[in-house]
Amino acid sequence: MRILSLSQETPLETPKGIEEVVIRPDCGSYIWRLLSQQTPLAPVVAPMSIARINRHIEEFTPDVIFFEETITTGFIDQLRMGGAKTVLNSQNVDFQLLRERGVSDSKTLEAAKAQEIAAINNTDMLISCSDRDAKIFENLTGKSANVLENPIPDQRAFDIPITPERYRKSGFLFVGMMSYSPNARAAEVIGNSILPKLAPDVRASLVGRHANTLPKNLQENARIDIHSDVPSILDYLADFGQTLMPIASGGGTRLKVLEAMAAGVCLVASAKAVEGIDLIPNTHFALAETPAEFARAFQANIENPHESAQRAITARQFVFDTYSEQIFEQRLKVCIDAILDQRAPA
């Protein structure tokens, strides 16, 4: 079985028996600069790039062509598919993310919504990373999505030791891309509202891409350590027993939540932070919505390290059973078999 993937990101390893070629619509991040008010999600791609992709299709003769995210779909109608089935692998409801990222212009948002609907309707199969997103897509287009949850990015997280001593530490971390507004707002809640309610010796570590863009008051806070654009977060996950996630908005699968639980980090989180994941409060994580609730849950984890370790073990098992690479490969194979079993469009 042959798959051609159009992707801006480095893809995950494909299951055995599948040969994959990955190409990018344009070099580096160039395609992002083509976005406009008229084409806010899927830009018009240069004819030279389209010709290059068509050559790949002709030479590789794929069974399936994967479009990774809406941004790669602005030229579907100009490709010579050669009988290949087409799949849109959507990581988020992109037109909604534009609003969450601060885009308020109604024409831009309507254009984005129209592009996302067109992308879904122009492909044979839609893959969503959560039941929540799948329902939104079905309401928009009437087209059912196959849910394929993203696996943990680094499977070594499952090997980090879980011991009670780890949960006695008077510190916590928050991981995320800080240029993403829901993460930046959560970081401000941590610094301005949660930390003041905790003992003076408690420190917070804010880790992730573009963390150096966080507001000055956070960067100058003596109780906050900021680590920007680190090559790997595994060392940080291993150093901490707790993560606090006061997320109030956003979409998609919460990979940072899952990765923390895989690493044995006790999770204190809002309902929004774990939305779309079938976690049980007090079994897999501690639910908190207000700064006072976050502070109390954090302190309770420190005071009960054996209970915290047990919760971490239970959460890790949940993630392994649902989001490990083995499970992902099985579900991907089911999706691929389903698309190959479909009849070609009339």
CATH number for the region 2-149+326-341 comes to 3.40.50.2000
Q: Which of 32, 148, 174 is nearest to 91 (CA)?
A: 148
Helix (H, G, I), strand (E, B) or coil at 246: coil
Domain ranges of the chain: 2-149+326-341, 155-323
Which CATH code of 3.30.565.10, 3.40.630.30, 3.40.50.2000, 3.40.50.300 fits the domain covering 155-323?
3.40.50.2000
Radius of gyration for the chain, computed over Cα atoms and rounded to the nearest angstrom: 21
Domains 2-149+326-341 and 155-323 share a fold: yes
Lowest mean pLDDT among 33-42, 90-99, 128-137, 314-323: 33-42
Backbone angles phi, psi at 175, to 5 degrees: -115, 135
Mean pLDDT of the chain: 87
- Per-residue pLDDT reduced to its tens digit, 51-72: 988 998 999 999 889 898 888 8
- The pLDDT score that the predictor gives to residue 253 is 53
Which amino acid is located at 197 in the chain? Answer: K
- Residue among 133, 128, 137, 83 at smallest CA distance from 342: 83
Instruction: Give the pair of three-digit tokens for residue 241.
Output: 């027993």
Residue 236 pLDDT level (bands cut at 50, 70, 90): very high
Sequence-distant (6+) residues with CB within 8 A of 9 are: 68
Residue-wise pLDDT for 191-235, tens only, equals 999 999 999 999 999 999 999 999 999 999 999 999 999 998 999
CB 256 within 8 A of CB 234: no
- pLDDT attached to residue 13: 60
- Comparing 24-28, 175-179, 241-245, 287-291, the range with the smallest average pLDDT is 24-28
pLDDT of residue 24 exceeding 80 = no
Local confidence band at 326 (pLDDT 50, 70, 90 cut-offs): confident
